[in-house]
Amino acid sequence: MGDDMLDILSTKALTGLQTVDLDELGKRIDRTEPRKRESTDVDLPTLMLFTSGTTGRPKGALLSERNLFAYAINFTAIGAVDGKSGFLCEPPMFHILGLVTNIRPALYMGSTLVISPGFDPEGTLKRFADPKLGITHYFCVPQMAELIRNQPAFDPEKMRGLVALFTGGAPNPPGKIREWLADGIPVVNGYGMTEAGTIIGMPLERRLIEAKIESAGAPAPLVEIVAGHDDGSVAEPGEVGELMIRGPGVTDGYWRRPDANEESFTEDGWFKSGDLGYRDEDGFFFLVDRKKDMFISGGENVYPAEVEAALLAHPAISEAAVIGMPDEKWGEVGHAALVLRHGAAESEFDLAEHCGPRLARYKAPKYMTFLPELPRTGSGKLAKHELRALLARKARK
């Protein structure tokens, strides 16, 4: 940027004490000689984003331009982004999806970027249907997708321009994905995090989405990922382990949290995600649950995500969350928090009858509580520490 442009964008101009006609601004930009760019260290942190803190205190992940460039390349490859793409950005700007995943690929590829005032299901549908906006790429958590489908004005024809509906932040149950596929709209599962950006994504081919409907997808091009054990060994295909990531997109660490850095990184540079999963023989990865969310009932491991997927197969259930709660006999048992779909009644759901053919007895929740909504973070993720406290209070009553 030249000195002339720096004068235009002075403090006075930005505070409104000086105004510049936009046509004149354009002419002055064209006349200005670019300032010689000085070399920069691409590994210096340029952004700090806080993790969502679903189970505890958020941590500030330090991200460099090398990290952010890798984020953009990884999603551009998975999401088939080009200069004709149109992004509708509705996640909050304090979240990786809003501030990076929506914006960086669009800017790097010269795509259209539409930033809305915020998520509003009715307004979102109107934006999908507007040919002037040309929306092709949309990110959301599964709960946002469900709210869009539940709109009275929902019409899949309004969404024909989408390359795909990209979902993440929480498992998207197969039944929900099939509803979208039946309407001719690809729903693409993915897996990423603040500390490493886009890690895994499902290819856009409908055949593969249906064949691997429970998978989060295959690794992005600039990502190494394995399922590992605490002893440092790598899990075999089909064997559950903690997902560990390495590559140029992985943060160098957390701001002022040496304890968290020591806990999160191995000596040879692998980032420990805290998520449990496995890969199949074809190289597709399947998420099992958060390592901290697993509980043990009667000596058996129970993964809440598996139980939640079974509960969400019921047509009356809109949202489900399962928490492991202390129990004198079994050590821990599941407590299900359920949100009904609009118009459904509690009498439509029988926990034992529904879970019997779908889950082993030790996996089926012992208790259930109906709630008007589940507690969530500002980015839409389930706040399990809040839910645990809420269910504990209800259990004491």
- Residue ending a domain, among 258, 290, 322, is 290
- pLDDT value for 7: 47
**What DSSP state is assigned to residue 94?**
T
Contact criterion met (CB below 8 Å) for 31 and 8: no
Q: Which CATH number do you get for residue 151? A: 3.40.50.12780
Residue 133 CB partners (closer than 8 Å, separation 6+): 86, 88, 112, 114, 127
- pLDDT value for 141: 84
Assess whether 117 and 255 both reside in one domain: yes
Element (H, E) at 22: helix 22-31
Could you tell me the sign of the dihedral formed by the alpha carbons of 386, 365, 173, 130, in that order?
negative
- pLDDT value for 337: 96
- pLDDT value for 36: 77
Assess whether 85 and 224 both reside in one domain: yes
Print the domain residue range for 27: 1-38
Amino acid found at 183 = D
What's the CA gap between 143 and 291, in Å, rounded?
A: 22
Angle at 332 between CA 327 and CA 333, to 5 degrees: 90
- Residue ending a domain, among 275, 290, 305, is 290
Assess whether 110 and 151 both reside in one domain: yes
- Which residue has tokens 């946002």? 144
Assess whether 272 and 336 both reside in one domain: no
Strand partners, 112: 86
Strand partners, 270: none
Beta strands in the chain (DSSP E): 45-50, 60-64, 86-89, 112-115, 137-140, 164-167, 187-193, 197-201, 218-219, 224-228, 241-246, 253-254, 271-279, 285-290, 295-297, 300-302, 317-327, 331-340, 367-370
Contact criterion met (CB below 8 Å) for 359 and 307: yes
Assess whether 204 and 278 both reside in one domain: yes
- Residue ending a domain, among 269, 290, 311, is 290
Assess whether 9 and 77 both reside in one domain: no
Assess whether 263 and 385 both reside in one domain: no
Angle at 247 between CA 171 and CA 229, to 5 degrees: 60
* Collapsed DSSP state (helix, strand, coil) of residue 101: helix
Assess whether 31 and 169 both reside in one domain: no
- pLDDT value for 53: 60
- pLDDT value for 18: 65
Q: What parts of the chain have a pLDDT lower than 50? A: 1-15
Tokens for 311?
Answer: 């509960």
Q: Which CATH number do you get for residue 304? A: 3.30.300.30
Quote the longest CA-to-CA distance of the chain. Answer: 79
Q: Considering its fold, how many domains does the chain have in total?
A: 3
Assess whether 343 and 241 both reside in one domain: no
Assess whether 152 and 251 both reside in one domain: yes
Assess whether 71 and 177 both reside in one domain: yes
Q: What is the pTM of this model?
A: 0.79
What's the CA gap between 6 and 327, in Å, rounded?
A: 66
Assess whether 27 and 91 both reside in one domain: no
